[in-house]
């Protein structure tokens, strides 16, 4: 006999006030609250307690609570806080999660296999460049969870972008294309020389932090194209250059391009960043101002920072060069040529060329400026080369100097172990203390040795004390090759009995007078030595 009807199984239903104790496994539907319950059964049957258990539905209060968010503070429910003018502010979970965006929300994977460029660019454009680009509420932080994001072309970064990873060598953007990992764009998507066309907003207020930008081919890390007021923090810029390699003009960790009279790169800060394995870690020739590198690490390169090498003094954007570029509290190592090389002025005006390039409180390892030939190589070059005006080195530490001791090379070949700082500029050293022995009647070396095979102007500010006797003075030296003159201008409470002098002589066995030697004599004074503290300034 065919089945013509399936029997209907009926469960309890009614209002919440009429819900009875349900039998084990029996369902009860509360119509007025749209909630579902099931009977627990008896304790003897194994239930933890007699009663009814609510089954989660869209009407369940617990479900509703799970989809909402109220800020509780660090103590949570134990010490509640009030978040609104009258009562708490409650937001949906969707709204709360939308405070931040992840590139994975847009399809990026970060598994070192998937091509992620399209997804990353879509995320950036949707947040910072598309239809609601002028609404500041759209400019959310874009988060890159730890992983390796493979790309084969440049990521273009528009105004107000804030790109955040989980840390260098945790979040890695890995480029295999023949271009920089990141370049700038305006809010209309224009790049390069088209940035700013038709009134578009140029790149500005950009922040990139806590990630590695890696290029697996001999191209760049980031190109600062007409960008202003932007910040890079804890970013590792990593290329493919190998120690001992030749220069490669496309391999630039940081560079500036496409400046003109309207758009000049300026006010950029690199803080606690790492620059490694580019032929040129920093290469800036286009007009730019106020770029700061603070507490950074520079390693494994042909040049450290190359400034103004390609400017010509006349082409738009290349007529003035970089200005006010500062390197502070940073470390430099394994660099074949100069750590900082400032190119000479080019063009017909005195204002052309890099200006106000500052190195302050940096540490330069013995592996800088020796052409990868090892410490004390005969092929050493200056660690810092200032070939234009208004450049300074202050309180820098040069490990190479202590390795050489008094050996400053051959004056007939200035390329042999040259000074730490050379060119046009001021080099100010840190304060040191020495002891001048009592009753030294023959001119004796103080231990202050300076390279003298180029024209030098030396100013040594000092103070001496010998028991209760005190002197403060300025000892100046003018030296050029074999010629050396000096002058000591001082004031003292009573006669300290010390005479300072200077001469040039060989610092090693090679011919030529190449080392300035500061010397002293002292009178006999109850076996009391002289303590001298001094600071050296050199017009290089």
Q: Average pLDDT, stretch 227-235? A: 98
Weakest-pLDDT range from 227-231, 245-249, 451-455, 531-535: 451-455
Confidence category of residue 6, pLDDT binned at 50, 70, 90: low
3-state class of 130 per DSSP?
Answer: coil
Q: Average pLDDT, stretch 136-141? A: 85
The pLDDT, as a whole number, for residue 271 is 98
pLDDT tens track for 408-450: 544 444 434 578 898 889 999 999 999 999 999 999 999 998 8
Instruction: Tokens 């923090």: give the residue.
Output: 233
Radius of gyration of the chain (CA): 35
User: Going from the N-terminus, what domains does the chain have, and what CATH number goes with each?
Assistant: 12-94 (no CATH), 99-240 (2.160.20.10), 432-539 (2.60.40)
pLDDT tens track for 314-358: 888 888 899 999 999 999 999 999 999 999 876 544 557 899 999
**Percent residues over pLDDT 70 in the chain:** 90
* E-state strands within 126-190: 141-143, 147-151, 155-157, 162-164, 171-175, 182-184
Alpha helices (H) in 267-398, listed in sequence order: none
Highest mean pLDDT: which range of 6-10, 403-407, 444-448: 444-448
pLDDT tens track for 461-473: 999 999 999 999 9
pLDDT tens track for 266-304: 999 999 999 999 999 999 999 999 999 999 999 999 999
CA–CA–CA angle 88, 91, 93 (5° rounding): 135
For residue 511, pLDDT beyond 60: no
pLDDT tens track for 208-227: 999 999 999 999 999 999 99
Confidence category of residue 380, pLDDT binned at 50, 70, 90: confident
pLDDT tens track for 60-81: 766 666 678 888 887 877 777 8
CA distance 35 to 386: 79
Residue partners of 63: CB distance under 8 A and separation at least 6: 56, 57
The pLDDT, as a whole number, for residue 131 is 63
The pLDDT, as a whole number, for residue 492 is 97
- Are 260 and 237 a contacting pair, CB within 8 Å? no
CA distance 152 to 114: 11
Q: Which of 228, 218, 298 shows the shortest CA–CA distance to 256? A: 228
Alpha helices (H) in 61-162, listed in sequence order: 61-66, 93-97, 117-128
* E-state strands within 336-396: 340-342, 355-360, 363-364, 384-386, 392-394
Average pLDDT across the chain, whole number:
89
CA distance 284 to 303: 12
Confidence category of residue 404, pLDDT binned at 50, 70, 90: very low
CA distance 170 to 162: 18
pLDDT tens track for 19-57: 999 999 899 999 988 889 999 988 888 888 999 998 887
Class of residue 311 by CB neighbours under 10 A (exposed 0-12, middle 13-18, buried 19+): buried
pLDDT tens track for 144-181: 999 999 999 999 999 999 999 999 999 999 999 999 99
Confidence category of residue 454, pLDDT binned at 50, 70, 90: low
């Amino acid at each position: 006999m065919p089945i013509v009807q399936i029997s209907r199984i009926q469960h309890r239903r009614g209002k919440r006030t009429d819900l009875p104790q349900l039998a084990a496994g029996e369902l009860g539907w509360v119509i007025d609250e749209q909630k579902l319950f099931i009977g627990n059964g008896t304790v003897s049957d194994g239930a933890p307690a007699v009663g009814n258990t609510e089954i989660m539905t869209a009407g369940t209060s617990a479900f509703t609570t799970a989809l909402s968010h109220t800020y509780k503070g660090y103590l949570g429910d134990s010490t509640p806080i009030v978040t609104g003018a009258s009562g708490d502010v409650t937001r949906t979970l969707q709204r709360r999660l939308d405070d931040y965006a992840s590139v994975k929300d847009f399809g990026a994977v970060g598994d070192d296999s998937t091509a992620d460029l399209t997804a990353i660019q879509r995320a950036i454009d949707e947040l910072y460049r598309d239809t609601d680009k002028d609404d500041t509420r759209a400019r959310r932080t874009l988060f890159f969870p730890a992983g390796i994001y493979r790309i084969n072309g440049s990521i273009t970064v528009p105004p107000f972008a804030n790109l955040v990873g989980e840390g260098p060598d945790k979040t890695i953007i890995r480029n295999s294309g023949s271009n920089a990992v990141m370049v700038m764009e305006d809010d209309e998507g224009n790049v390069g020389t088209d940035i700013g066309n038709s009134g578009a907003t140029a790149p500005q207020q950009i922040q990139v932090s806590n990630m590695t930008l890696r290029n697996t081919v001999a191209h760049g890390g980031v190109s600062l194209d007409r960008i202003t007021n932007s910040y890079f923090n804890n970013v590792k810029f990593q290329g493919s250059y190998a120690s001992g390699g030749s220069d490669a003009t496309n391999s630039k960790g940081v560079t500036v391009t496409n400046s003109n009279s309207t758009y000049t790169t300026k006010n950029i800060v690199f803080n606690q960043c790492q620059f490694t394995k580019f032929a040129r870690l920093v290469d800036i020739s286009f007009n730019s101002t106020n770029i700061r590198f603070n507490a950074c690490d520079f390693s494994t390169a042909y040049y450290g920072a190359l400034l103004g090498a390609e400017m010509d003094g006349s082409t738009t954007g290349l007529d003035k060069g970089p200005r006010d570029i500062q390197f502070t509290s940073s470390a430099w190592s394994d660099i074949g040529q100069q750590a900082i090389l400032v190119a000479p002025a080019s063009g017909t005006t005195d204002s052309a060329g890099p200006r106000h390039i500052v190195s302050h409180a940096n540490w330069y390892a013995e592996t800088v400026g020796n052409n990868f030939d090892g410490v004390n190589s005969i092929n050493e070059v200056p660690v810092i080369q200032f070939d234009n005006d208004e450049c300074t080195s202050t309180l820098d530490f040069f490990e190479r100097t202590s390795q050489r001791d008094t050996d400053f090379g051959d004056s007939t070949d200035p390329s042999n172990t040259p000074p730490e700082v050379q060119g046009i500029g001021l080099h100010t050293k840190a304060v040191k203390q020495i002891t001048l022995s009592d009753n030294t009647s023959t001119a004796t070396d103080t231990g202050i040795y300076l390279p003298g095979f180029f024209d030098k102007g030396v100013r040594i500010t000092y103070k001496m004390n010998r028991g209760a006797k005190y002197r403060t003075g300025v000892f100046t030296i003018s030296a050029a090759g074999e010629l050396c003159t000096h002058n000591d201008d001082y004031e003292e409470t009573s006669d300290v009995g010390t005479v300072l002098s200077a001469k040039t002589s060989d610092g090693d066995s090679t011919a030529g007078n190449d080392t300035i030697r500061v010397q002293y004599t002292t009178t006999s004074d109850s076996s009391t030595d002289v303590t001298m503290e001094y600071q050296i300034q050199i017009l290089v």
